Amino acid sequence: MKKVVKFGGSSLASAEQFKKVGRIIRQDASRRYVVPSAPGKRYAGDIKVTDMLYSCYLMAIREEDEEESFDGLLAEIKARYDEIIQGLGLSLDLSGEFRTIRENFTRKIGRDYAASRGEYLNGMVMAAYLGYEFIDAAEVIFFKADGSFDSKKTDKILSERLKDCGRAVIPGFYGSMPDRKIKTFSRGGSDVTGSIVARAIHADMYENWTDVSGFLVADPRIVKNPKPIDIITYRELRELAYMGASVLHEDAIFPVRKEGIPINIRNTNAPEDKGTLIVEATCRTPRFTITGIAGKKDFASVTIEKDMMNSQVGFCHKVLGVFADNDISIEHMPSGIDTLTVFVHQDEFEEKEQDVIAGIHRAVEPDFVELESDLALIAVVGRGMRATRGTSGRIFSALAHANVNVKMIDQGSSELNIIIGVRNHDFDTAVRAIYDIFVTTQI
């Protein structure tokens, strides 16, 4: 049995947290490949080491007279590591590493290099603490010259490198370009590294340890004490993540999904909790009809009305062309016999609205165009909905009882999700009403 275990920044923010991580790893001999993030926040209001490194590099590349503060901040970053090293009773000395980092900063080596040092150094500390081999991610994770991830090369070299290596620490978040320059994934990218390592070694499980016990059925800022999600499919997760439920980096799903490796989201501060298991497919019956609810506010809708619209060939195509020409992406597009509504992000749309209206008039000569703003979209997601009759009926009666006016309904043909449009100010009430009808009453 082989497991890849990734630990997020809050799990590695202090020596105390490192000790919890050490206990978790030692408890299960199959936890053989460890992917650490950089030290995160120790308390609310603290600063992540990655953010300190970004600021420090910015100071370094500015004028000479800023040099003093750049050194000051670099010393603060070193102090963060030294505190962990001392707290763990290790004899590791990072002074040489920090001298190299300082030199490279003065040479203006690159912002990504700067940010990556957070994981690089934390990887060294972790390897020393566990007695595992340290493998610099620059040697095994690769990007192409255009900046995209080179999955083929990485998989080949990484699996080769790990073949005879029983236990290793591979820092998350970065890799190297063909010219050896360091490049990072987008923020939160250590999740992606973990997934890549899991794929390369054909892991039985990718455990992603963070500071929550997995996904919750609804946002706890809206619903009080929402139930956890025990098991969720990759597809359901994609739907929920797109609508704002975030625990895992979006791109972390793809490498393991290809191999059918499950991801287990776990809580470093509550290791006895089972967390959420993310799988390709499952025949386990979901606890509730729905798996989760997520949503986003601040959409605008553009409704286009024209008599006999449906009989005009290419009508939608022309309308969509106007949005594409204005570089606006479309969220949803419910339609009626003579109407078509397009949902867009309000902030993206606002400055271009008049160009879009004029474009639509030119393209399809509508009877009229109507705009509405301050709308929210709610996604109700669940593989269990397919087998259950009356799901949408229950959603709408719950919303009616809660006095929420439904502006739009869109059910994908996969029956995996139902998207509901409401006014921004009804958003929280609507989410609570849907949660209550499916989870609190538990029918």
Least separation, in Å, of the C-beta of 138 and ligand ASP? 15
Question: By C-beta, is 211 or 428 nearer to ligand ASP?
Answer: 211
Least separation, in Å, of the C-beta of 325 and ligand ASP? 35
Question: By C-beta, is 70 or 173 nearer to ligand ASP?
Answer: 173
Q: Is 9 annotated as a binding residue?
A: yes
Q: Is 221 annotated as a binding residue?
A: yes
Q: Is 429 annotated as a binding residue?
A: no
Least separation, in Å, of the C-beta of 317 and ligand ASP? 40
Long-range contacts (CB closer than 8 Å, 24 or more residues apart) made by 157-165: 158/196, 158/197, 158/200, 159/200, 159/201, 161/135, 162/33, 162/135, 162/197, 162/200, 162/201, 165/133, 165/135
Q: What gap in Å lies between CA 30 and CA 224, rounded to an integer?
A: 36
Q: Which residue is nearest to ligand ASP (CB)?
A: 190
Q: Is 80 annotated as a binding residue?
A: no
Least separation, in Å, of the C-beta of 51 and ligand ASP? 7
Least separation, in Å, of the C-beta of 208 and ligand ASP? 10
Q: Is 6 annotated as a binding residue?
A: yes
Question: By C-beta, is 37 or 291 nearer to ligand ASP?
Answer: 37
Q: Is 348 annotated as a binding residue?
A: no
Interface with ligand ASP (CB under 6 A): 9, 37-38, 48, 50, 118, 172-173, 187-191
Q: In what order do the strands lie in the sheet with 168-169?
A: 133-134, 168-169, 31-36, 3-7, 205-210, 263-267, 276-279, 231-233
Question: By C-beta, is 191 or 239 nearer to ligand ASP?
Answer: 191
Q: Is 97 annotated as a binding residue?
A: no
Question: By C-beta, is 84 or 420 nearer to ligand ASP?
Answer: 84
- Cα–Cα distances in angstroms (integers) from residue 366 to residues 101, 308, 332, 362, in the given order: 61, 10, 20, 9
Beta strands per DSSP E along 234-354: 263-267, 276-279, 292-305, 330-332, 339-345
Least separation, in Å, of the C-beta of 173 and ligand ASP? 4
Q: What gap in Å lies between CA 51 and CA 73, rounded to an integer?
A: 11
Q: What is the dihedral of CA 199, 205, 210, 215, to 10 degrees?
A: 100
Q: DSSP letter for 407, please.
A: -
- The annotated binding site for substrate is made up of 50, 119
Annotated binding site: 6-9, 50, 119, 210-211, 221
Q: List binding-site positions for ATP.
A: 6-9, 210-211, 221
